[in-house]
């Protein structure tokens, strides 16, 4: 068990390479279960969520290799093994095993997903979709049991725009008999990426990236080679890091359109952002940042996953800023930690209200979830003195080599093992 230490205040400079998208990767890997010959995916991020999913595919009989960011799976010998416990509970995206295994085997048993604790995260829309396709779904002792005699196309209207439900229903529908129409579908780039992989495998999908997706079921899906899209949330995190303290930070391998809402917001705050074809250059402004209000929305609105990182930057803006999370109204566990570091911020309902600028000071803080961790790294880079972040496994779930990437641009950041009493405290909390 490690902790992260950051000595704040160093000026950053250089180029950072963005990895493949975590939230695509965690859906693309389960999607390969549906193929009847080997699939290769290039540029997968080297993060613990990907390694956990590789383990799960091996557990159900897949032959998997993951080296130098290339993932190769032979899914032919996979079986419909129940996965009620174990690694499946470590990440929320294991819910994609439900759609993929249901699509291939017409049955699945998956332990209820874990992942970041952002308040209630129901999966009722996923289940409604599976049922519409002909599955019987029950919840027995904390695991979801799915069974279907056969799967048939259906018209499904999502009551809530959900990334997970949209992808999961696509996975279950690609081999169902007849046409499935998903209405009020989510439009995130990760959905298009999954549809692209499935199409290369032989699926018939139209409309991914719009709010109506049409899937025409096919009998067989075959192997293929696919290149994942870059991670827009990692790119956004580094854009914020650039705005917080870089002379010039070049973010390489990014699709600028995917981060437009952040680009606009940073410019509104007075940050210099220059956009190229697949690169973005961000420089810290010599002037005080302007305050701004932000509301998270479904894509192409401002992403909830950048709400926590942006909050750290907003502590440096003059006046009052309000950041409202309409997707996860309780995604504010980073706020107490930022206050420990000297931020003047409070939570009211679904909003964080900041009054700045605040002088941040290094402190001992906790990465309560993945993006809270990112927000604390950003705060640590700006703070005076040393910041110690514990529970870094949350950060390692989603950021590929974050320490190495930050060191390469001049940050003073390193890992240290937890002291004995810190490790004991951690173990006690986990019991």
Catalytic residues: 116
Using CB under 6 A, which of 197, 370, 390, 402 touches ligand EPU?
370
By the rule CB under 6 A, 123 interacts with ligand EPU: yes
Tell how strand 204-206 and strand 212-216 pair up: antiparallel
Q: What is the number of residues in the chain?
A: 431
Residue 319's region, left for phi above 0, alpha for psi from -120 to 50, else beta, is: left
By the rule CB under 6 A, 162 interacts with ligand EPU: yes
211 is in an annotated binding site: no
Tokens of 95: 């819910």
Interface stretch with ligand EPU, choices 7-15, 251-259, 301-309, 383-391 (CB under 6 A): 301-309
Tokens of 132: 């519409």
CB of 335 to ligand EPU, least distance (A): 16
By the rule CB under 6 A, 229 interacts with ligand EPU: no
Using CB under 6 A, which of 126, 187, 333, 366 touches ligand EPU?
126
Using CB under 6 A, which of 125, 237, 316, 375 touches ligand EPU?
125
Using CB under 6 A, which of 32, 304, 315, 358 touches ligand EPU?
304
Nearer to ligand EPU, 330 or 427 (CB): 330
Using CB under 6 A, which of 21, 165, 378, 418 touches ligand EPU?
165
CB of 166 to ligand EPU, least distance (A): 8
Using CB under 6 A, which of 12, 19, 23, 244 touches ligand EPU?
23
By the rule CB under 6 A, 327 interacts with ligand EPU: yes
By the rule CB under 6 A, 29 interacts with ligand EPU: no
Using CB under 6 A, which of 3, 90, 92, 265 touches ligand EPU?
92
193 is in an annotated binding site: no
Within 68-87, which residues bind ligand EPU (CB under 6 A)? none
By the rule CB under 6 A, 163 interacts with ligand EPU: yes
Total number of residues that touch ligand EPU (CB under 6 A): 26
Cα 16 from chain centroid (whole Å): 19
Binding residues for ligand EPU, rule: CB under 6 A, are 23, 26, 92-93, 116, 121-126, 160, 162-165, 186, 233, 303-305, 327-328, 370-371, 398
**Residues flagged as binding site:** 22-23, 92, 121-125, 305, 327
**Residues flagged as binding site for phosphoenolpyruvate:** 22-23
């Amino acid at each position: 068990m490690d902790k992260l230490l950051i000595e704040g205040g160093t000026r950053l400079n250089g180029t950072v390479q963005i990895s493949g998208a975590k939230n695509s990767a965690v859906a693309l890997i389960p999607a390969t279960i549906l193929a009847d010959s080997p699939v290769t995916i290039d540029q997968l991020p080297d993060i613990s969520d990907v390694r956990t999913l590789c383990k799960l595919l091996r557990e159900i009989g897949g032959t998997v290799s993951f080296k130098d960011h290339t993932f190769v799976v032979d899914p032919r010998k996979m079986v419909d093994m129940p996965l009620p416990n174990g690694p499946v509970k470590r990440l929320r995206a294991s819910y994609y095993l439900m759609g993929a295994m249901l699509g291939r085997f017409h049955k699945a048993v998956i332990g209820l997903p874990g992942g970041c604790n952002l308040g209630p995260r129901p999966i009722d829309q996923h289940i409604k979709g599976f049922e519409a396709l002909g599955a019987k779904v029950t919840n027995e002792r904390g695991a979801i049991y799915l069974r279907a005699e056969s799967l048939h196309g259906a018209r499904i209207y999502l009551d809530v725009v959900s990334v997970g439900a949209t992808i999961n229903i696509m996975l279950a529908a690609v081999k169902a008999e007849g046409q499935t129409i998903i209405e009020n579908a989510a439009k995130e780039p990760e959905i298009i990426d999954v549809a692209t992989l499935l199409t290369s495998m032989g699926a018939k999908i139209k409309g991914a990236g719009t709010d109506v997706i049409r899937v025409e079921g096919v009998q067989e899906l075959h192997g293929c080679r696919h290149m994942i899209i870059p991670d827009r949330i990692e790119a956004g995190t580094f854009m914020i890091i650039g705005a917080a303290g870089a002379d010039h930070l070049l973010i390489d391998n990014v699709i600028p359109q995917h981060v437009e809402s952040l680009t606009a917001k940073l410019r509104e705050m007075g940050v210099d952002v220059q956009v190229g074809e697949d690169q973005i250059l961000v420089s810290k402004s010599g002037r005080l940042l302007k305050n701004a209000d932000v509301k998270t929305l479904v894509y192409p609105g401002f992403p909830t996953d950048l709400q926590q990182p942006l909050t750290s930057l907003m502590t440096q803006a003059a006046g009052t800023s309000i950041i409202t999370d309409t997707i996860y109204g309780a995604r504010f566990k980073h706020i107490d930690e930022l206050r420990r570091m000297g931020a003047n911020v409070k939570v009211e309902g679904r909003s964080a209200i900041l009054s700045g600028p605040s002088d941040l000071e290094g402190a001992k803080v906790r990465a309560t979830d993945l993006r809270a961790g990112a927000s604390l790294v950003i705060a640590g880079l700006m703070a005076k003195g040393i910041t110690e972040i514990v529970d870094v496994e949350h950060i390692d779930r989603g950021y590929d080599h974050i320490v190495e990437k930050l060191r390469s641009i001049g940050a003073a950041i390193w890992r240290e093992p937890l002291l004995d009493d810190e490790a004991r405290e951690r173990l006690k909390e986990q019991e």
